[in-house]
């Protein structure tokens, strides 16, 4: 690892930090240290970095704005790559936009709605990045990324870039091929929007934002929805009906506002959250014979 750190620093390709606490980079405010924390200063420098990381045979993981992630208390014994505002260009040509993976999804939705372009209203309250949204096919209010994506540019582990079409991304509910079979980094995405009535679009997005503010617990650190909806059921409804609202293990608590959220009341550990997830799964299975699958991505030495 020491050799890799020296190599990356010598390339002058961004900010390199050792033993960076990942709780500072997740919306849950949970997570141990990353052995190496790399914030590339451009897509070109990301490519240079990934080539060195792969050549060193070091494990690596990519984060954006840190939502939808549970990182273990032990952290990650490898390289964590954070895509931030350095990889957040935005270009528009008519109804088509090309946007960098580090761009805030909420910011993008807000800007496009104010310009009178429809398609991103569903994303007005999703606290992630464009890259993360593509990775997990983020969605809400009956729509998702797959509905507007034309193609995305993926940096593959061998240092090459490849454009994948919407069909090639193999999207399904909160899933893409990047989770299933293609280890790569989404660096930019092309979305197809629709010109519409600005007042109507902004009103719809504000309604979605208000709904989230009223029904979800953003007063405490959280990651977003913890479980996938076991269709035709809804995760939050099952958890609430099982009487688990407010149930706590340590400082990890099932939200009293929305039962599919687990909040950090102060000093929750990843293990607290894991134990609470396990308790919810066991309770729901015992009561309803329904298996609850986590939507949140578990990273590091975590297991259920």
Q: Is the pLDDT of residue 195 over 50?
A: yes
Closest CA to 261 of 125, 170, 151: 125
Confidence of residue 206 (pLDDT cuts 50, 70, 90): confident
Q: What is the DSSP pairing of strand 60-63 with strand 76-82? A: parallel
Catalytic residue, chosen from 104, 113, 129, 225, is 225
Residue 16, judged by CB atoms within 10 A of its CB (0-12, 13-18, 19+), counts as buried
Q: Whole-prediction pTM value?
A: 0.91
- pLDDT tens profile 111-153: 999 999 999 999 988 888 999 999 999 998 889 999 999 999 9
Rounded Cα distance, 32 and 300, in Å: 9
What's the pLDDT at 218? 77
Residue indicated by tokens 């980079």:
25
What's the pLDDT at 79? 97
2-85 folds as 3.30.43
What's the pLDDT at 213? 79
- pLDDT tens profile 215-234: 888 789 999 899 999 989 99
Domain chopping of the chain, boundaries: 2-85, 88-215, 235-299
- pLDDT tens profile 281-291: 999 999 999 99
How much of the chain, in percent, has pLDDT values that exceed 70?
99
Q: Is the pLDDT of residue 53 over 60?
A: yes
Catalytic residue, chosen from 20, 121, 204, 295, is 295
Least confident among 35-44, 61-70, 184-193: 61-70
Confidence of residue 303 (pLDDT cuts 50, 70, 90): very low
Q: Is the pLDDT of residue 154 over 90?
A: yes
Domain 235-299 falls under CATH 1.10.10.10: no
Could you tell me the two tokens for 258?
């929305």
Catalytic residue, chosen from 174, 188, 204, 297, is 174
What's the pLDDT at 302? 54
Q: For residue 154, count other CB atoms closer than 10 A to its CB.
A: 25
- pLDDT tens profile 64-114: 999 889 999 999 999 999 999 999 999 999 999 999 999 999 999 999 999
Catalytic annotation present for 225:
yes
Q: Is the pLDDT of residue 37 over 70?
A: yes
Is the fold of 2-85 the same as that of 88-215?
Answer: no
Catalytic annotation present for 85:
no
The answer to whether the beta carbons of residues 101 and 43 sit under 8 Å apart is: no
Catalytic annotation present for 194:
no
What would be the CATH architecture of the domain defined by 88-215? 2-Layer Sandwich (3.30)
Q: In what order do the strands lie in the sheet with 60-63?
A: 14-21, 33-40, 76-82, 60-63
Backbone angles phi, psi at 198, to 5 degrees: -55, -45
How much of the chain, in percent, has pLDDT values that exceed 90?
84
């Amino acid at each position: 690892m020491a050799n890799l750190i020296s190599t990356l620093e010598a390339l002058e390709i961004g900010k390199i930090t050792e033993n960076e606490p990942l709780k500072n980079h997740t919306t849950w405010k949970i997570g141990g240290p990353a052995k190496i924390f790399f914030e590339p200063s451009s897509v070109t420098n990301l490519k240079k970095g990934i080539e060195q990381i792969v050549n060193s045979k070091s494990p690596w993981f990519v984060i954006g704005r840190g939502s939808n992630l549970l990182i273990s208390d032990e952290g990650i014994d490898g390289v964590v790559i954070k895509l931030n505002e350095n990889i957040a260009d935005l270009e528009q040509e008519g109804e088509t936009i090309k946007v960098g993976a580090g761009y805030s999804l909420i910011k993008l939705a807000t800007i496009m709605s104010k310009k009178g372009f429809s398609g991103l209203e569903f994303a007005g309250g999703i606290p992630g990045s464009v890259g993360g949204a593509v990775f997990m096919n983020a969605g809400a209010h009956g729509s998702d990324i797959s509905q507007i994506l034309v193609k995305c540019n993926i940096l593959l582990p061998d240092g090459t870039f490849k454009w994948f079409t919407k069909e090639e991304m193999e999207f399904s509910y909160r899933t893409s091929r990047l989770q299933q079979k293609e280890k790569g980094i989404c660096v930019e995405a092309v979305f197809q929007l629709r010109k519409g009535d600005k007042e109507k679009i902004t009103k719809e997005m504000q309604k979605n934002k208000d709904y989230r503010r009223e029904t979800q617990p953003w007063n405490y650190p959280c990651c977003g929805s913890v479980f996938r909806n076991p269709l035709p059921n809804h995760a939050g409804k099952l958890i609430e009906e099982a009487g688990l609202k407010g149930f706590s293990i340590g400082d990890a608590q099932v939200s009293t506002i929305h039962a599919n959220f687990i909040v950090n009341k102060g000093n929750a550990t990843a293990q607290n959250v894991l134990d609470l997830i396990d308790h919810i799964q066991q309770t729901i299975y015992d009561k309803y014979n329904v298996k609850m699958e986590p939507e949140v991505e578990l990273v590091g030495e975590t297991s259920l």
